[in-house]
Amino acid sequence: MSTVTLAELKAYLDVTTSDNDAMLQQLLDGAEDEALMYMDRPALPRRGDTEVDEADSNDTEPATGSNVAPSVRAGIFLLAQAMFEAKDAAEMVLIRKAAETKFTPYRNQWGV
């Protein structure tokens, strides 16, 4: 189950029916998982987090719902949007790059 809610994603995507709820929840779960892997974090950064390393944070409570850092939340929405609405591969790449831009300040490990 995702930290960001299905209702929040549906509002972002302007989806008003429940016809695609199961699929949207899967996309949301996948987008949140991908965000965590990209940022190399065990939990989503919270609103107001300034520390890059989650382990250095004094507050050990994980982010919940609207407490997720706004740029991270926007990145998760963008990843889900890319999978749900992209008309072609080029559009998907652009939307995904925008999501990465949102996650990058919170990234722990850059690798080689």
Q: Where are the domains of the chain?
A: 6-55+66-106
Instruction: Classify residue 68 by its DSSP letter.
Output: B
pLDDT of residue 51: 52
Q: Are 57 and 33 in contact (CB under 8 A)?
A: no
What are phi and psi for residue 71, nearest 5 degrees?
-70, -35
> Of the given ranges (1-5, 6-10, 90-94), which has the lowest mean pLDDT?
1-5
Place of tokens 């990234």: 107
Least confident of 48-52, 57-61, 100-104: 57-61
Contact between 69 and 49 under an 8 Å Cβ cutoff? The reply is: yes
The closest alpha carbon to 54, from 41, 63, 65, 69, belongs to 41
Residues forming a β-bridge with 68: 46
Check: pTM over 0.75? Answer yes or no: yes
